[in-house]
Every structure is written in structure tokens, then in C-alpha cells.
Amino acid sequence: MIPDTYSPEEKEEIERRHQHLLDVWQTRKEASDLEMVNDAFYFAVEAHKDQRRRSGEPYIYHPIEVATIAAHDIGLGRTSIVSALLHDVVEDTPYTLEDIEKRYGETVMHVVDGLTKLSQTEGVDSIQAENFRKIITSLSYDIRVILIKLSDRLHNMRTLDSMPAHKQQKIASETAYLYAPLANRLGLYAIKSELEDLSLKYTDPTIYQSLKRRMNEVRGSRMAEMKEFVVPLEDALKQHGIKAKVRIIERSTNSVWKRMKEKELPFEDLYGLFYVRIIADCPAEMEKIECWKIYAILSDLYRPNTAKLKDWISLPKVNGYESLHAVVMGQMGHWVEVQIRSERMDEIDEKGFAAYWKNKTDNTTESGFDEWLKRVQDLIGSDTGTSLEFLDTFKLDLFSDEIFVFTPQGKMISMPKGATVLDFAYNIHSHIGDHCIAANVNNKLVQLSQTLRTGDQVEIITSEAQHPQEYWFEYLATAYAKSKLRNGIKEYRKDFREEGESLYINIMQKLGMEPSKANRAKIMEAEKITSTIDFNYLLATGKINEQTIRDILKPQQTSGNAFIRAITFGRYGQGSKPKEEDKLNPSGDFDVCVAKCCNPIPGDDVVAFHFEGEPLQIHRSNCPKAIEMSSRYGSHLVQAKWQPKSGIAFLAGLKISALDNVGLLNRMTDLLSNQMKLNLQSLNMELKQDLVEATIYVFVHNIEELESLISKLSKMKDVQKVTRITKD
């Protein structure tokens, strides 16, 4: 049944992977289910028979592995496995969605349609954003699309070595920026961690390889210490008759790197490389009691840090995550994190959404996960912006950590971290948001821009004289509220239609011109107005007037205003046109703009972005802005080896922690100016108790010179730590 285009060895491997898929499939497997999956398997084998991956392997390996991840790692069933096997058939072969529907039904067809990428479309700013928007929109009808897409992305990341470097950067950046946070929000912790690690491997290979090497070096000693910690704990649990498994878990590489950055600690001083997980075997109705019993036993053995106790059992996270997190002092004088949960909670943590719904017993209770899905569906339903705007707002609202706030009646509401009073008002009802003037937070009067914190009780104050304002967007942190404000502004501006149309006719008659749709379109394009509603409102309120229209439609009669506008607000955006000293021309063929966000210097791993008519933008490959741009504008990412002219100096920033002793400043400036002959842009020193924190920005010629400076500063008397930083 396998075509002869495959070699005998490949046929054997395909069948082996087929059997493995059937073995790890955990849900219902009746005869009809097996028949459908097997049919889809051989259909996909036939459809992809002439295709090979870049590595040279048969393409069919990929859909089989995607289906295996969906079945094993997420726990999905027949429809998802069939859809995963077929997910590239419509995109890469002559078969159509109609063929899929005839053979496998409407549901499978819709899932495959959701997984089929859009082709590049004229006028689309970012095909990546368009495709991500299409995937997210599938939440309104079938979440399996997203779960299979995450399986697809995970296998692509596992096999990314065969891709060219610039493609690796693009795909890894997109994964870190979009797909890993999405996996986290859907409760797929294992997949999220692997996606983050693989992304780090390609966006910052030096850090990744260094951390892997260091983890290998300390694993033995750290594991021995953790085993010493666990032995008395296991004995105590047995003595109290508690059935539980105790595991020692190693943190992912990316998690270690994030902790190092957050705590500003070198690897050697970081002790949270491993943590302990206690999984209780108990009935669902006893879970909470059993977990707190285990915490009581733990705190009897080891001194707890009560400030770091987190109760995600009483208040589960939006993605369904439940666990007690405790931090206790171990025998060796190091803090140890301990997670306490039930087997049901552990399955939800590992397999996310599918396990959550499988374990959900009370269909009358709406969880944070249900609320999150409703927010997504509301956002999809109210979305009218571009795909890039959708991507920004979705990430802003729906990937954020959550806070819990209360209404005056005591109802608890989950909101994204960073939400404001105005966000809360729109979350209650769009009418309340549109007419909000202030709020009482914990019985204290505050403004609309006030940021809320967990535990706040919020009472919104409204006035019918109030109406939604354009500047309110600055007060909002959530996509949901922004979409409601956008709708509110639109409805309010509709009232100005007649007045605006009348003014347009009068102005055009004064100018001796026809008040036609074509002339109106020219004005709207020049002023970047997207709707006639806004056009009429801006006319009625005087923000567009006769002079504005004259400058646009009769530029020969202007006094240079249009020219000045073009220079000031040109392609670089307002106030962001590169200065001459920021532009390099290494080859004489094009300009290069060195990114201020990360200050790359020769020797750094860099990436480049090329936009038509603009300088080549150079970023460090691990720059957060570069990762974000790669996820949006992957088609503009170009492979580049940066070799600027010799003699050019580049700005680099360093943060220095040192003991507060006499002569420190003199020694530092002597090293910079006299010994290394470097030009200093700025130096700031701040005393914090007995420590000095110095921030310096200095011009260097290459990475070797910077590393030499860091080495010499680190060896200087009283200096404790030197780290490279970027300018805010």
C-alpha cells in the first residue's frame, strides 16, 4: 500500500512510525476509529509520495510525527490524528478541501482548512501575522486547529537544523514570540518549555550551548544534594500514610537563562536549577486537603519562606493550572522550590487543554479557562484592525499573567496583569466603559489610568455626559477594551455625519472644486483616515479644515507645508529618522542603520532586516526587538555577514557592581581613557548601602575590545560583577 517511490528502508521506517502512532494513541480506539486513522495515514503517504524535506527525508515523516505529538503529548483523539496526518495535503499537493470533505467529513475539512497557510497576498504587511490571525480565529469554532498547529511547530523546531541560518532565526523568533506563549496559555507546559529551549538554541546559540555545558558539569553534584533533600520527605509522607510520588525535576535551559537575567546572577550563584514535585494519589474530593497536609509535613521538616507561598489550588490560573508552590530552606543552606499537586492537576499541567476538559466534572462551574476562551471569541468577533494590530493586541491581552480584582458586590474577575481602571470598566460592560469618568479603588478615588493589582475592589463612576475619547487608548492595556473603545468612538462619531458632509461640500465649493468621492479619497489617504465616519467627525470638530484640504488638493499654492510634513514624518516615522552618525555604508551599495535598542558591535551575532527604500537594520540576534520583528516580518529577514569599515566605533553599555571604596572612579576612568584609549559617552554612579552601581556607555571597535574591557574591569579591585546592557 506504500508507493514504490519510497526505498525499502523508508517503507519499513514509515510503517514503524505508523505503528508507534497507534501505540501512543490514548483515547477511544474502536474499529471505526482505527479504520479512519489508517485510511488517512495511507492517503497522506500517497499524497506526499513525491515530496522530500530539506534534510532529504521523505516528507511523510513530518505529518506522522505531528500526529504522534498530538496523540501522545496532548492526548487528542481520532479527528485530531486524522487532521494532523492530512494537515499539509491541501497546501502541498493537488488535493483540495472538497476532496478531504468527501472522504473524511466536514469537521476534518474545517480543521485542515484552519491549518492551511495563506499564500502571499498583495497589500498584506505580514503574511506571518495573517496566518497567525487565521489560526487564532479557529478558536471560535474548533480549538483542535491550534493544538495541531502547536504539534506542527514543535516538530518543525525539532528538525530546524537542516534550514539556512536566516530561516532558523525567523522560525525560532516567531516561535518564542507567539507559539511558546500560546502553548503556555493553553496549559501545555511541556511543549511550551521545549519550544522555548529550541528557540533559544537558534536565537542565541552561544548562551544556549554555554548553559547546556554548564548544566552537564553541575548536574551530578546538584542532583546528589536534591536527593538528600528528598529522602526525609519521602519517609515523612509514608509515616503519615500519604500516597504520593516525589520527583526531582531539572529546569529547562531557557528557564535557567530567564532566572539568571531576572535575578542578575551568574550561573554559579543560581541554585534553582532543580525543583521538587510531590504528586498526591487521592480522590478528587480530597485533593485540596491532601495537598495542604503535604505542605504541613514539608514545613515541619524544612523552614518555609512564607512570602513565596503561592496557592494556585484555591485560585487556579486561567489555563487551568493548579498547584501549591512552596519555597523551603534545604540542609545545604539553599532555597528549594517544591510543587504540591494531585495526579489530576499534574496531567492538566503536562497536557493542558485536552486533559483539562477530560478531567472537568462540574459542567455548571465556569473556570478561568472558560472565561479566557470567551475573551478570545469576543476579541475575534470585534476585531476590525490589520493582522499586525490583531497580533499585537492578542499578545498584549491574552498572553499576559493574570490578576484577580473584585466588584463592589464581591464578584471576582480575572484580568491580564497591567490592566487599568478603564480596562475594568470595559470588561464589565461597553456602556460603562464609554461613560466612565473615575473609580473608587479600595474606597479611594482614582483616575481612569490607574493600574490595578490583585485584591483591589473597584467601583466605577460614570456620567451620561461623558463620551469615549481617542486619547483613552493610552490608558488601556487590554485588547478587549481597546476593541470596545474603538467601537464606542465609531458609534459616537456617527452623530457628526450630516455636519461633516455639509462642511465638506462648503469647503470644496470655496476652493472651486468638485466635492466628489475621488477628492475625498485623496484627502483621506493623505491624512491616513480609514473611514468616512472619522472623516466627517474630523471635519465637524475642525481637525480637518479648509487649509488642510487646500494643501492636499492644491499643493502648488502651499508655502512648502507639504514638503516639510514629508521630511518630518517620512518613512522612518515621527522623530525617528536616523542621524548621520548612525548610518554606515560598508559596501557603498546601501545604508546600514545600527539599532539603538541593542547596540550591536562587530563580532556580535547579528541579524539584518531589509525594507524597500530604507537602510538595512542591524540587530543583535538575541535582541527582543529583533525576535519580535522576525516573528512579524520574516520575509524581510536577510542572511548577512556584517563587516563595517575599520576605525568605526560602536556604543556598548556596561553595568558594574562594586564595593564603595575610595579611588574606584579614578581607577575606572584611568582604564577607559589612558590604558584602553576608549571614548566614554556617559557614566552614572549610584550608591546603594555599601555597594556602588555604575552604568557606563563607551565606544568600542569590536566584540574583542569589549570583552577585553569587561575582563579588565572584572579583575579591578573592589569590582564584584560586570554585565553588558543595552540602552533603554
The one-letter amino acid at 508: M
Residue with cell 539584518: 608
Which of 527, 726, 547 is CA-nearest to residue 625? 726
3 state SS for 530-595: CCHHHHHHHHHCCCCCHHHHHHHHCHHHCCCHHHHHHHHCCCCCCCCCCCHHHEECCCCCCCEEEC
Q: Quick one: cell of 666?
A: 579614578
Strand partners, 687: 692
Q: What is the distance between the alpha carbons of residues 595 and 15, in angstroms, rounded to a whole number?
A: 51
CA distance 57 to 48: 12
Which cell numbers in the block locate residue 97?
478541501
DSSP letter assigned to residue 125: S
Element (H, E) at 347: helix 343-351
* Amino acid present at 156: N
d(Cα 669, Cα 658) in Å, to the nearest integer?
A: 14
Q: Catalytic: 91?
A: yes
Kindly give, in sequence order, each residue whose CB lies less than 8 Å from that of residue 724, ignoring residues fewer than 6 positions away: 652, 653, 654, 655, 706, 710
Q: Which of 92, 527, 614, 693 is catalytic?
A: 92
- The three cell numbers of residue 287 are 485533593
CA 588 → CA 296, 379, 713, distances in Å?
A: 70, 48, 37
Pairwise CA distance, residues 306 & 538, whole Å: 57
> What are the C-alpha distances in Å from 711 to residues 494, 680, 720, 724?
65, 17, 12, 12
Give strand ranges (E) for 71-175: none
Choose among 64, 78, 59: nearest CA to 6: 59
Neighbours of 218 (CB within 10 A): 14
- Of 14, 10, 69, the C-alpha closest to 44 is 14
Strand partners for 721: 657
Active-site annotation holder among 91, 217, 235, 525: 91
What are the residues facing 655 on neighbouring strands? 695, 723
CA nearest to 451, candidates 432, 429, 423, 472: 423
Strand order in the sheet with 310-311: 244-250, 274-280, 335-342, 324-329, 310-311
CB 636 within 8 A of CB 609: yes
**Which residue in 128, 115, 50 sits closest to 83, CA to CA?**
115
What residues pair up with 342 in beta bridges, in sequence order? 280
The DSSP code for 512 is T
Catalytic residues, by residue number, are 91-92
